[in-house]
Amino acid sequence: MIQHRPLVLSLPSPAIIPPRPRRHRHHTTTPSLPSHSRSLLHHRFLRVTHLVVASRGDQRRTLRGATMGLFTVTKKATTPFDGQKPGTSGLRKKVTVFQQPHYLQNFVQSTFNALPVDQVRGATIVVSGDGRYFSKDAVQIITKMAAANGVRRVWVGQNSLMSTPAVSAVIRERVGADGSKATGAFILTASHNPGGPKEDFGIKYNMGNGGPAPESVTDKIFSNTTTISEYLISEDLPDVDISVVGVTSFSGPEGPFDVDVFDSSVDYIKLMKTIFDFEAIKKLLTSPKFTFCYDALHGVAGAYAKHIFVEELGADESSLLNCVPKEDFGGGHPDPNLTYAKELVERMGLGKSSSNVEPPEFGAAADGDADRNMILGKRFFVTPSDSVAIIAANAVQSIPYFASGLKGVARSMPTSAALDVVAKNLNLKFFEVPTGWKFFGNLMDAGMCSICGEESFGTGSDHIREKDGIWAVLAWLSIIAFKNKDNLGGDKLVTVEDIVRQHWATYGRHYYTRYDYENVDAGAAKELMANLVSMQSSLSDVNKLVKEIRSDVSEVVAADEFEYKDPVDGSVSKHQGIRYLFGDGSRLVFRLSGTGSVGATIRVYIEQYERDSSKTGRDSQDALAPLVDVALKLSKMQEYTGRSAPTVIT
């Protein structure tokens, strides 16, 4: 437990404290500012920091002592920036864009102005992220703006580190020493995008349920960014040392303002222990027959990996790879796939170079903010689409949290239909939603969904309202532990590959791949997509083209632009991806991604369903080759983009 003890101050009489010269500013209030912001103008106040002693195990950390000073709330004039529209995962741009004067401040103030007053004034908000370059500067800026906008307290992860799933957990689960609960969070991340002075930065706002802001809020934020003329900031508020756990308290015109720096792994581990059988997983990880490797790709997952896998579950520390968080992710690309997680791929025996070292039985990787995951067995890759289907198929018997059954399952539209087959066989409610975790969140808040996933290496459950990479790893370890509960002393363990192949034998196999064309010309990308939509008006012409390309491919029986009507709130989301559906259950999906910071990213999803269990062991590339050929030629990918090959294949 963290204990807070205020420092007893011996201060001189106020009469002998030299007055600080008044700084003259001309302030005006305008109707464009919300009432909670206007009420804070014209104030100066005394600041007192408190000594805080924090303990975690046998570690004790102490904050600085007390200082005195005057403090002002300033209204800064500004003008709008173009293009501050939050995408499915917030606003992402190059660091140099965010470093422009007023750029970050405009977006933050636009967010405060978009929220209900009671979620700002007197509220508690979380400010943290994946630790990428510019994060520490952004934390200080947002903290000073929070103080100026009447926020009561800010919770910050130590060193500004807090995974996206941990932020969601903190919003939902953490209770402050004074009984406070968070109403939302600014998450500073560009997820799986590279970091560094010339790379990407991002910011998004999560709501009181722990999930991303819905479109009704992000639309207001964007609208505000187009008209903003001023923002509030407490420029004289000193930077808080976010490397040290503890609370720094300030006295303001509307009462106290606190900055609480804490180790979020404590709260996160507590939640994980309510979901999984840690003892069962520990027996597996400490078995001499089982070997394990976890690669954080120098992202924020490294701040949790040692606490969970080594200290709690008994794995050897040598099983952790790239688990020191770095602002530039070690110069790498923190995207957990076969292209970018090169070191893990080699260690698991899937690389091009041969090695005499026997690969581990299980390997996993995380992305920059630890909400994505990749699962590997010895010389074996598990597709994310298969992963969520296998977790759902085994959850009730393997994971205590789901022992009473699943409320339902859901996947994003581009994700393969492997989960659909599981849902049908187990008689579960099933939902197909657009890409974006907020759609899952609506279902979960309504008690309609327990497990969900996206093909883009995101898997999660209703324990929070974000995808959760470490949760997915613990889910897989739970399944392996259950399959081997009576076998740890046997000759051969049930492996990752065994589990996947048994799943295929039961449910059939969805051969699946995704081609990403990153940073292509945005105009050309839109033309390509428009042409694919235009072609859908005549399926007979489409099938003629398909047969000219590959005669061994089934006919297209339906084609559309995916549209989703939310069963919870009735909202409709249009233009969510272009689909070509084949008679044998195969699919081609084309979609423009909103996760890049420049240009456009075209994603092509290619899926071939095989029911015959005797044919589920084919090489994936061979099985998909005919459909890949059709996808690239039907879309005229090279003609529109000038690319002869994708940037990434997963």
Let me know the angle formed at the C-alpha of 88 by 642 and 515, rounded to the nearest 5 degrees: 35
Residue 216 known to be catalytic? no
Q: Are strands 451-454 and 458-461 parallel, antiparallel or unpaired?
A: antiparallel
CA distance 434 to 212: 14
Look at residue 181 and give its three-state secondary structure.
coil
Contacts of 646 (CB under 8 A, 6+ apart): 515, 516, 517, 604
Contacts of 354 (CB under 8 A, 6+ apart): none
Helix (H) or strand (E) holding 515: strand 509-520
Distances (CA, A) of 154 to 145, 204, 210, 290: 11, 16, 16, 42
Q: Are strands 91-94 and 200-206 parallel, antiparallel or unpaired?
A: antiparallel
Catalytic option among 89, 135, 191, 385 = 191
Distances (CA, A) of 39 to 75, 76, 78, 113, 259: 12, 15, 20, 14, 21
- How many helices (H) and strands (E) in the chain? 19, 30
What's the per-residue H, E or C state across 40-94? Answer: CCCCEEECCCCCCEEEECCEEEECCCCCCCEEECEEEECCCCCCCCCECCEEEEE
Query: Which tokens go with 135?
Result: 């994060």
Nearest to 335 by CA among 589, 125, 550, 595: 595
Active site residues: 191
